[in-house]
Structure 1
């Protein structure tokens, strides 16, 4: 059981949480578990970090260290080309859930691919409209009724499933939207990576209470298979970004916020020597220990 002092973005709420970890399943869940209707309040007035200060006093050594991370990064690519290679020849539209303003949708449109987003945030939907792409109001657990079963040839679910109150039920519903042979791409934080274990409650991708589910490769693939889909491939992403100035500044801010909330059992592990230790422990490690995110590609058979 990992105790989380509170919501680092909104410490005034005065709530604390616990992450119950099931070692045999490779899966964690947030306690207390909120109702679906409660989730909106955790996302209200999202705080953005602007003008992040430098995290180092000796820039050249940090630049050298980050170069080493980039050199050893063999993670899967992002971007529209990755997704277009997965498209089945037959089928209908592409669905991007949690489309966040429609950047990926616009890239699909530029290639003549019909794509629609599903996004709960009204501000993001307005940004998408200005880009000339369509985002419908909804979530992975509440897909708009206009999206018919069997009408979708690819669904992108990048850093969304960890927010779902009922992730298994969401996957079953998404499977039904896919055409036969349609692809579902799911990316979530990788909670078995060394960076997560090193940072514990202060890990950036823990982000309690917005994240409710904490996956590893095994628990994610098992949930996808139990939803009736066939796992086609497993990729990993996010190595060098674990030592970028923004990433480390956010983790330091989380640490200091928790200290101000009275936490005494946490440590600031965002210094240069901590980053060196992360590099030494992960440089030639298995992907499941190296990367901060895991991505599964599955198909409806």
Structure 2
């Protein structure tokens, strides 16, 4: 079972702090079979929205006030096009695309400009409002799409937030057309920058990130479902952005040059190990 819980306190991999909202401490419990970490205690579902109530939560805002925000949005703009080119090389024609956890709608906005029929899901009200201002109407959940099938489904740094992994994977299988393309991007806790920053690694982002994945995790999670992994790509800029935030959490300042050096070192090591700071998994629905 995916939701086995990993409740044994002896399996604590690392303990870390919520630096963004609550300042609470959480343990990350290790499942040796799945090579996956689970945030403990797992907050009650009703309390989860409260952990997102911060102007510093960057995927729900278009703010460009700080240096980190400016860098984030410049890299994001570049990567939107790169992500769509990855997808377009793997399809014969531009059809329907569903983005789950669409944030402020920038990915779908770019896809729409390139001729895709776009749909999106975003639970955060403020993020949906910003997306609507860009002409992208997002649904609060998947209820509107129960009878639809999509050519492509994307989850850009979303699966780690999902409360019930098993239900989510079953839903993905239902929503995707046969031979459809599923793309999932997540942080990789086996990267060098994760090992270097340890409890200060910003991509742990507890408790908003409920799960923490490795490449081995995905083999277990999607085993037995109608998906076949066909490709794996790195998000090489993530090591720099995550290192900037991690330096801030660790030292109180961004330490720009130090963070960039760690980001470069992480990417260099990953050239031989494939353990990049963030990874994009590509799947085909085989049945």
Query: Would the TM-score normalized by the shorter structure come out above 0.5?
Result: yes
The one of 204, 209, 212 aligned to 1:211: 209
From the superposition, tell whether residues 234 and 149 of structure 1 become closer, same or farther in structure 2 (CA, over 3 Å).
farther
The question of whether the paired residues in 1 share the 8 Å contact of 2:233 and 2:280 is answered with yes
Distance between the aligned counterparts of 1:26 and 1:159, measured in 2?
19
Give the drift of 1:284.
5.0
- Is residue 45 of structure 1 aligned with residue 54 of structure 2? yes
Partner residue, 1:242: 239
Partner residue, 2:140: 137
Give the drift of 1:202.
0.6
Alignment gaps of 5+ in structure 1: 54-74, 258-267
Matches within 5 A, 1:3-82: 3-10=14-21, 13=22, 15-47=24-56, 50-52=65-67, 78-82=82-86
Give the drift of 1:179.
1.1
The one of 246, 250, 261 aligned to 1:251: 246
Deviations 1:187-229 (A, max 9, x none): 1001111111111111111111110101011112331233331
Matches within 5 A, 1:95-134: 95-134=98-137
Alignment gaps of 5+ in structure 2: 1-11, 59-64, 69-78
The TM-score with structure 1 as length reference comes to: 0.75
The question of whether the paired residues in 1 share the 8 Å contact of 2:227 and 2:285 is answered with yes
* Structure index of larger Rg: 1
Distance between the aligned counterparts of 2:163 and 2:48, measured in 1?
8
Stretches (4+) displaced over 6 A? 268-271
Distance between the aligned counterparts of 1:28 and 1:110, measured in 2?
38
The count of residues paired between Structure 1 and Structure 2 equals: 259
Query: C-alpha root-mean-square deviation of aligned residues, in Å?
Result: 3.0
The question of whether the paired residues in 2 share the 8 Å contact of 1:88 and 1:181 is answered with no
Distance between the aligned counterparts of 1:130 and 1:275, measured in 2?
34
Distance between the aligned counterparts of 2:38 and 2:183, measured in 1?
22
